[in-house]
A and B are shown apart, each in its own frame.
Chain A
Amino acid sequence: MAKVLVVTSGKGGVGKTTSTAALGAALAQAGEKVVVVDFDVGLRNLDLVLGAERRVVFDLINVVQGVAKLPQALIRDKRLETLWLLPASQTRDKDALTEEGVAKVIAELREKFDWIICDSPAGIERGAILAMRHADEAVIVTNPEVSSVRDSDRIIGMLDAKTVRAEKGEGIKKHLLITRYDAARASRGEMLSIDDVLEILTTPLLGIIPESEEVLRASNVGSPVTLSNRLSAPARAYTDAARRLKGEEISVSIPSSKMRLFDKLFGRRAA
Chain B
Amino acid sequence: MTNASHRAIRFIGRSYLAFVLTPEAPILGWLAELDSWLARSPRFFADRSIVLDLAKVKLSRQGISHLVANLLERNIRVVGLEGADPTLLGPELPPLMRGGRSVDGAEIVPPSGSEKAAAPIRKQPTSLVLDSPVRSGQSIIFPEGDVSVLGSVGSGAEIIAGGSVHVYGTLRGRVMAGSTGNAQARIFCQKIDAELLAINGYYRTAEEIDQQVRGRPSQAWLEGRTLKVTALN
Contacts and interface: CB of A to CB of B under 8 A. Distances in A.
Nearest to B172: A200
A206 B137 CA distance: 24
A84 to B, nearest CB: 31
B74 interface: no
A202 interface: yes
Interface stretch (A42-50, A74-82, A148-156): A148-156
B182 interface: no
Given A150-B156, A202-B152, A157 B172 contact: no
Contacts of A157: 134-138, 154, 157
Contacts of A146: 155
A153 B132 contact: no
Interface of B is mostly: loop
Contacts of A156: 135
Interface in B129-153: 132-138, 151-152
A234 to B, nearest CB: 28
A202 B136 contact: no
A157 B154 CA distance: 10
A31 B109 CA distance: 64
B82 to A, nearest CB: 16
B170 interface: yes
Contacts of A160: 132, 135
A126 interface: yes
Interface in B30-87: 87
A146 B138 CA distance: 18
Contacts of A202: 133, 151-152
Contacts of B152: 200, 202
B175 to A, nearest CB: 16
Contacts of B157: 153, 157
A195 interface: no
A199 B136 contact: no
- Assign chain A's interface to a size class: 10 to 19
Interface in B84-140: 87, 132-138
Given A125-B87, A160-B132, A153 B170 contact: no
A14 to B, nearest CB: 15
| Most A CB within 10 A of own CB, among B137, B156, B172 | B137
B170 A150 contact: no
A262 B21 CA distance: 72
B155 A150 contact: yes
A211 to B, nearest CB: 24
B135 A153 contact: yes
A154 B156 contact: yes
- Chain B CB count within 10 A is highest, among A126, A156, A158, A160, for A156
A149 to B, nearest CB: 8
Interface string A153-176: 110111010000000000000000
Interface string A197-233: 0011010000000000000000000000000000000
Interface of B: 87, 132-138, 151-152, 154-157, 170, 172
Kindly list the 4 A-B residue pairs having the minimum CB-CB distance in the complex, ordered from nearest. Answer: A157-B135, A153-B136, A154-B136, A154-B137
21 contacts: A150-B154, A150-B155, A153-B136, A153-B137, A153-B154, A153-B155, A153-B156, A154-B135, A154-B136, A154-B137, A154-B154, A154-B156, A157-B134, A157-B136, A157-B137, A157-B154, A160-B135, A200-B170, A200-B172, A202-B133, A202-B152
Interface of A: 124-126, 146, 150-151, 153-154, 156-158, 160, 199-200, 202
